Amino acid sequence: MDKVYEPRLVEERLYKQWEEKGYFKPEVNPGGKPYCIILPPPNANGDLHFGHAMFVIEDILIRFHRMKGEAVLWLPGTDHAGFETQFVFEKQLQSQSKSRFDYSQEELYSMIWDFVKSSGGKIENQLRRLGFSLDWSREKYTLDPEIVKLVYKTFKKMYDEGLIYRGFRLVHYCTKDGTSFSDLEVVHEERKSPLYYVKYGPLVLATTRPETKFGDTAVAVNPKDKRYKKFVGKEIEIETVLGKAKIKVISDEYVDLQFGTGVVKITPAHDFNDYEVAQRHNLPLKQVINYDGTMNEHAGKFAGMYVKKAREAIITEMKQKELIEKIDEEYVHRIGVCYKCKTVLEPLPMEQWFVKVKSFTEKAIAAVKSGEVKIFPKNFETLYFQWLENLRDWNISRQIVWGIRIPAWKCLRCHPELVSGSNNRTMEQSSNDGWVVTDGSKPEKCLKCGSKDLEQDTDTFDTWFSSGQWPVVTLKTSKQGDFERFYPTSVMETGYDILKAWVSRMVMLGIYSTTKVPFTHVVLHGLVNDPYGKKMSKSKGNVVNPLELVEQYGADAVRMALVYGTALGHDQAMSYGKLDAMKKFSNKIWNIARFIEMKRSSLSHPERSEGSVNASRDSSVAALPLNDIKILFKTAKNDNDKEWIEKTQDLSNEITIFIDKHQFNLAAERLYEYIWHEFADIYIEDVKNRLDDNSYLILYTLYIILLKLLHPFMPFVTEEIYQKLGNKDSIMISSWPV
């Protein structure tokens, strides 16, 4: 054995060996109990980042259960990542002075497909570098035709059962990227904005958005506010920058007595809370902002101006007309922004496809409360419940090209045209009329009027709608019998930041599609921040590539550093100190093996006879009856050896319990301390002064047990040592030492 462990000489060779011998497939333990994890699919066009490196937790579980003799399936796949991929591609177009508007839908889709394909395979190879024992023969992609068919089938079934509807409702809309989002994708930021106190006839109200006043359909006060009681139910005359107008005063408990003057304007087409008030009071909807972020004809002379410029111009005129009483320049409030471009999102009325979530959320909540699905750490259950209990109907339409196109066709003869300023249409009303939904194939005619003049919806599904079905669609399109054998899956391990976005939706859609939960355990890791505790971001320039660390420290050291010292659900700062410590730990493990190997030559080992616990130095430990700790204990002639046999047995039980409880940090910390500071510093120092055939056999056997316990955490160095010490088979398929 070399003096120093060199990961670069070992890792690629061993991974290739494992893969070629089929060790990653569940068929390696054909009669074993099924155990399955579906890999959270990374973006197909992306690079490995530290979120993906945390898949080490899944690999620990997979290797642990494989060594326990179970039929283990870790199924990999990648996500087309609709909006995010198109966003990246559009930035590339912008660098060429082009935009998405220069191409047809078909051309743009084809170009993005080629873009994704050109970077295909990158993420898979990067996952290999970290030693993740995924069954690549079952790899999936969210745009695989057989997966798309199942997504269509679910959509059609939900539509037929009245769980999906076409509705004209308020949505979060990014005027820069040209698409709507669901509530979940909105990022809220605290910002300082001027709070304008505007004169509305005899009243004064406070607003941060004077440009939307052209869409006001009422003024509201709290029913408990005695100051304004005489105005409730009446129309007041107001002066505007476009002339005089009349507006009704209503009372609603939504109004905060402490905000501003206790009077608010109600603009149902541009504020979600105002919309709720409008529904209660049967107020009309009046849209004044276009989908490109400009003011429309209702804004009069300000029409065509972008919102920010219009606000400035309107305020200037209001000041000239003395319609501004005062301005609070220090007002801080939360606003919704696009999570990619940070543009302020506009609440805008649009006709979109929505999922009625109530029946879904009730079952998803019940699954966790009953214990069918267990969340680790348990405190995240509160976040899960809060999200689902307050979830509004889910907008699954996206105005992008890249993704799974919605299988719905509009009849151009009988579909009603929607007028956003209409008084006789509310956003609660469904507009399914004139739409034909299929499971993917184009319909021959409109089911209502028989017309063949049909046009497919240009929108695509929200990525979370397709990826929310991931455990179901991957196993149903995998090898024959996989779904029946491995569903429900055992664990869904992912970052806590997508508990709401993805995990909750998988539970909802999994129960709907199969009547069973998609997984029994949810295991949540925290974020990996930069060494200063700041979130890694390309814009900040503090992104650290985990593969660069693999090159410098070795995959085992990176894996161990990510787990050691950080409990589930807790963020961690990337630590070069930990990485260095784990690289030294790899070498310590290697040096112990070198000591054991060197001592072989100084001892005479009788040939092994049937049933004997003695063995030649070249025999395979798998052929020895040494996994039975009781037999090993009986062979010990020295009390110290007996003590260390018992200690190692206790350690083995301890590590097993830690992994079963998903306490990976405690397992890693215990192994580190035991191997270095107990086994090496105390036991080896004792035994090397009295080494004979019997004590050597015990030393060797205890070390093999430690390698097995450590293998799920540090697979490469343990495998290399296992084979260097004369074992012909892989440690990966050896038995777990309990």
Ranking 12-26, 46-60, 290-304, 340-354 by mean pLDDT, the lowest is: 46-60
Q: Is the pLDDT of residue 707 over 70?
A: yes
The model's pLDDT over 29-86, given as tens digits with 9 standing for 90+, comes to 999 999 999 999 998 877 778 888 999 999 999 999 999 999 999 999 999 999 999 9
**Residue 198 maps to which CATH number?**
3.90.740.10
**In this predicted structure, what is the pLDDT of residue 13?**
97
pTM summary value: 0.91
Q: 313-328: per-residue pLDDT in tens? A: 999 999 999 999 999 9
Which residue has 């929200």 as its token pair?
462
Domain boundary pick from 338, 357, 383: 338
CB of 172 within 8 A of CB of 345? Answer: yes
Residue 14, token pair as written in the block: 């061993």
Instruction: Tell me how far CA of residue 546 lies from CA of 55, 284, 574, 689, in angstroms.
Output: 12, 55, 10, 43
CATH number where 715 lies: 1.10.730.10
CA–CA dist 594, 514 (Å, integer): 53
Evaluate whether residue 71 is within a structural domain: no
CA distance 590 to 680: 11
496, part of any domain: no
Predicted local confidence at residue 286, as pLDDT: 94
What is the predicted pLDDT for the residue at 424? Answer: 41
- Residue 155 inside a domain? The answer is no
Look at residues 313, 338, 363 and tell me which one is the last residue of a structural domain: 338
* % of the chain beyond a pLDDT of 70: 93
DSSP state of 534: P
Range of the domain at 681: 572-733
Average pLDDT over residues 625-641: 78
Q: CA-to-CA distance for 559 and 84, rounded, in angstroms?
A: 28
Please check whether residue 382 lies inside any domain of the structure.
no
Q: pLDDT by residue (tens digit) across 216-227?
A: 999 999 999 999
Q: pLDDT digits over 127-170, tens only?
A: 999 999 999 999 999 999 999 999 999 999 999 999 999 988 89
Task: Name the more confident of 641 and 448.
Answer: 641
- Residue 44 has a pLDDT of 86
Answer yes or no: is 48 within a domain: no
Choosing from 338, 369, 387, the residue where a domain stops is 338
Mean pLDDT across the chain: 91
The DSSP 8-state label assigned to residue 214 in this structure reads G
Question: pLDDT tens digits, residue range 708-722?
Answer: 999 999 999 999 999
pLDDT above 60: residue 430: no
What pLDDT shows up at residue 608? Answer: 34
Looking up tokens 């009849």 gives 411
Residue 362 has pLDDT above 80, yes or no: yes
Q: Is residue 637 part of a domain?
A: yes
The pLDDT score that the predictor gives to residue 120 is 65
The DSSP 8-state label assigned to residue 4 in this structure reads: S
pLDDT at position 417: 62
pLDDT band at 726 (very low <50, low <70, confident <90, very high): confident
In the predicted model, what is the mean pLDDT of residues 418-432? Answer: 50
Domain contains 84: no
pLDDT of 603 above 70: no
Phi, then psi, of 530 in degrees rounded to 5: -70, 175
For 602-660, the three-class secondary structure string (H helix, E strand, C coil) is: CCCCCCCCCCCCCCCCCCCHHHCCCCCHHHHHHHCCCHHHHHHHHHHHHHHHHHHHHHH
The two three-digit tokens of residue 350, written as one number: 């649009």
Beta-carbon count within 10 A of 725 CB: 20
Q: 221 with 262: CB under 8 angstroms?
A: yes
- Mean pLDDT on 426-452: 82
Whether the per-residue pLDDT at 623 is higher than 50: the answer is: no
| Residue 455 maps to a domain | no
**3-state SS record for 572-598:** EECCHHHHHHHHHHHHHHHHHHHHHHH
How many domains would you assign to the chain?
A: 2
With beta carbons less than 8 A apart as the criterion, state whether 570 and 544 touch: no
Q: Between β-strands 34-38 and 71-75, what pairing exists: parallel, antiparallel or unpaired? A: parallel
* Strand 519-525 versus strand 489-495 pairing type: parallel
